[in-house]
A = this chain, B = another copy of it.
Amino acid sequence: MGIPKPAAERLARLMQLLEQRKDRESPVSSAELEYITGWPSHTIRKDISFLAAGNDISTPAGYNPARLAQAINGALGFARATHNCCVVGLGRMGSAFLEYGGFHDSLFTLCAGFDSNVNRVEILRADIPLYPAFKMKEIIPRLDITYALLAVPPDQARQTALRLAECGIRGIVNFTPVMLSVPPGVEVEQVSVLDALGALAARLAVGDKT
């Protein structure tokens, strides 16, 4: 019954690609997806086969993008129109998200920012409301925010993550180089540059041929 986690992650990415794609009508073949993603077509077909079919996703010329996206949506429980996110920590990194356009036509909406520095909160201009950090406990449930982008200074990372968990955050994208430990039920995705560089170096060293 379960979709393997790697497959689920690929499907999630596939869906984002489908959303970006202008043409929502003409069918997309697994070969084309292979070209775009770099993943072999049989892997893609297999991944798609994990979605309990039912819907007629495929046509003789390939997959129907709209129905495919919908099926992934369903299977991964991306049921709601969008998931609400907040940025925590509005330094260079954090405030960069305030003007990041990528959230448009994605599954995620950035709908609040927090910083412990009240000054900064007042000075920054943004299209979304910014709050002092002590209001997290009030705002996060109120706005139904499930995900947090954590961009605070390293020494505040751990405690902030715990506070976020207490506020009901389910997933944290961790931009700090600090490794977080969070209560069960909360997921963390590490996106430190250093980790990324380390992973690259490791792959180059081991001689991967992805």
List residues of chain A with CB under 8 Å of any chain B CB: 2-3, 5, 8-9, 11-13, 15-17, 20, 35-38, 75-78, 83, 85, 91-93, 95-97, 99-103, 106-108, 147, 149, 154, 170-173, 177, 179, 181, 184, 187, 189, 191-210
Contact = CB atoms under 8 A, between A and B. Distances in A.
Nearest to A92: B96
Contact of A38 (B11, B181, B208): B181
A198 B149 contact: no
- The binding surface of chain A is classed by DSSP as helix
Given A2-B207, A8-B206, A102-B154, 19 more contacts: A11-B202, A16-B194, A16-B195, A35-B181, A36-B179, A37-B179, A38-B181, A75-B205, A76-B206, A96-B96, A100-B193, A102-B193, A106-B194, A107-B201, A170-B200, A171-B197, A171-B200, A187-B203, A191-B193
Contacts of A17: 179
Given A38-B181, A206-B3, A199 B12 contact: yes
Contact of A78 (B3, B100, B201, B203): B201
B187 A38 contact: no
A187 B38 CA distance: 12
